[in-house]
Chains A and B, each alone.
Chain A
Amino acid sequence: MWEYSDKVKDHFNNPRNVGEIEDPDGVGEVGSLACGDALKLTFKLDKEGRIADVKFKTFGCGSAIASSSALTEMIKGKTLDEALKITNKDIADYLDGLPEEKMHCSVMGREALEAAIANYKGEDLKKKSTEGKIVCNCFGVTEQQIARAVRENNLKTVEQVTNYTKAGGGCQSCHPEIEKIIQRVQKEMLAKEIERRKLEGKKLTNLQKIMKIQEIIEGEIRPALIRDGGDIEIVDIKDNKVYVALRGKCTACPSSQITVKGVVESKLKEFVSEDIEVEEVKSEEVF
């Protein structure tokens, strides 16, 4: 038995905007009978280019129907650009969450919306939907679709990818390939995050810089050292110089210099600023 939220139950039992618009401005069809769920979305625009009316027909389970119904409510009155900003996560949030195994229902909603808008814009849907290599042959899921789900939902495991895209839910032979996509996208995301942080770092005031350094040492470096029986403490920060003292096992550790330069300094360089230098202050110097 699934734990569905009251909102999911409501949208399943009283689905909004069921049907098909005659002579629609855009039509989006995704999924198939064989796959176990499918959604047909039709919409009409008003003079200002806003979605005046939208209707859906869905083949699928309770959460697929609820996700479709929620989507139609969410995009009514929006411009196409606004509607395109909606992610699968937004749909799930609107419904007060979906069971993890059912997240692919919300992805189907977002895909149908994109297909319908592409159809309106006259883009070649077929070409668009088959773009990219098919990774999961059982459910016909492309590398692009998987990468996008990983990016938008910060997915980390194959199981999560299956929950969100269905990819890997059949014969499972594509699991190694999905694993590779996850690693690649996660790496890209990390690189972007680092880039973003660096950009931020350049604009930091002195106070912000000190707080950032604290945040990284407290949040990312200390827990790892504590796990190994050691600890670290910030003694002082002067301009770009950070003085730290190692504690516990770290003090006697012959590789403490590597810890200071290789781990602490490189982390701070990565996330705060290239100019940072870290120096270890021996205990006797502190007291």
Chain B
Amino acid sequence: MKVIYVDNNATTKVAPEVVEEMLPYFTELYGNASSMHYFGGQLGKKIIEARERVGALIGADTSEIIFTSCGTESDSTAIFSAIRAFPEKKHIVTTRVEHPAVLNLCKYLASNGYDVTFIGVNREGMLDIEEVKNAITDNTAIVSVMYANNETGVIFPVEEIGQIAKAKGALFHCDAVQAVGKIPINLKKSTIDMLSISGHKLHAPKGIGVLYVRKGTKFRPFLMGGHQEHGRRAGTENVPYIVGLGKACELALQYMDDENTRVKYLRDKLEEGILKNIPRTLLNGNKEHRLPNTLSVSFEFIEGEAILLKLSDLGICASSGSACTSGSLEPSHVLRAMGVPFTAAHGSIRFSLSRYNTEEEIDYILEHLPGVIEGIRDISPFWKKEYKKAV
């Protein structure tokens, strides 16, 4: 069966060019970059090249790039670094819609002596900048706000937030794993002090990430040990994955236009087709301030897992913020924070596209989705025939 993969905010296909570039570093050039001999030492150049490629994508200097094992490590490193560098400050500001990598760490700190402010969002998933302004104080060690939300794709006004943080002397960390590679980011002109990247969200493999740390930012390492990454992240350099991530960043830069034109067009086509042809369907998240590849919709009166199972049988891979898919009993924290109506909270589906999706695939989804939704609604005790007209 053909697989139509529209779950790219969960993870992406590794680009074939990336794999090709990585392969020699497993069995041929397998040395340790820290070795004195040429065989290992020559890898240092490849790591620098990768750093340059990452830097080119986000507008950073090579000295500002720290390779990590994943986005979660980058997030933990940034937040722990800030609270260790400013031990006298006991306040953290974040949002209610962060990824668990930030949210659960902040909850942990909240029960371990820190005062944490969780900023809410409105019905469209947007932050209230005034609320952020009021939350940050002189006692705030770090403000951690995501660049774009993984479920809705909503982009937050991070530069404005960074300015407010700066004015109060707080560090600003930005979890940008969903944004990097999808929208242009230039940290040369930015208020962001630290920024997290995850390789597998931009067609590099799982197991590699980056923490950007602006020059001059007070920093304390998370993993301690060897001198790697200038003593900022111990652990033998993961050469093949670093090389892979560098290539993936280079490709992301090349495809940036495609992402914001063709991929965006496909997303918009999918969105319009769904909202036009399937009654009682809501768009989750602000339409304008949104990643070009992400679409979150809620189908009223039905439950997301049932939809995903039917889609999966058709080869369509998407995801849901419904309770049942995760094993929890409540819809996702993002949808709850947005106050999605209870008729729709359990029936959310997220489609997230990538450069590998085609128009035929979108047409295929649009052809089959209405039938799937209708079939499940026919079983639902809350669905009424008269709703059909109310498109």
Contacts and interface: CB of A to CB of B under 8 A. Distances in A.
Co-assembled chains A and B: yes
A33 B343 contact: yes
Nearest to A59: B380
A62 B381 contact: no
B329 A33 contact: no
Interface string B238-270: 000000000000000000000000000000000
B328 interface: yes
B329 A18 contact: no
Nearest to B341: A33
Given A33-B343, A64-B303, A40 B381 contact: yes
Interface in B322-373: 322-325, 327-331, 342-343, 345-346
B329 A60 contact: no
A175 to B, nearest CB: 14
A58 B379 contact: yes
A238 B289 CA distance: 86
B313 interface: yes
Interface in B369-391: 378-382
Given A13-B313, A61-B306, A65-B306, A33 B301 contact: yes
A38 interface: yes
Contacts of B297: none
Interface residues of B, number: 26
Given A36-B324, A169-B330, A60 B382 contact: no
A170 B330 CA distance: 7
A21 to B, nearest CB: 13
A101 interface: yes
A34 interface: yes
Contacts of A62: 305-306, 309, 324
B302 interface: yes
A58 B324 CA distance: 14
A102 B306 CA distance: 13
B382 A38 contact: yes
B263 to A, nearest CB: 26
Contacts of B306: 12, 60-62, 65
A60 B346 CA distance: 9
A60 B303 contact: yes
A39 interface: yes
29 contacts: A12-B306, A15-B379, A18-B378, A18-B379, A33-B301, A33-B342, A33-B343, A33-B346, A34-B345, A36-B303, A36-B322, A36-B323, A36-B331, A40-B381, A57-B380, A58-B379, A58-B381, A59-B379, A61-B304, A61-B322, A62-B324, A64-B303, A65-B306, A101-B327, A102-B324, A138-B330, A162-B329, A169-B329, A169-B330
Given A33-B343, A61-B324, A162-B329, 15 more contacts: A12-B309, A18-B379, A33-B346, A36-B330, A36-B331, A38-B381, A57-B379, A59-B302, A62-B309, A65-B306, A102-B324, A166-B329, A169-B328, A169-B329, A169-B330
Interface of B: 301-306, 309, 313, 322-325, 327-331, 342-343, 345-346, 378-382
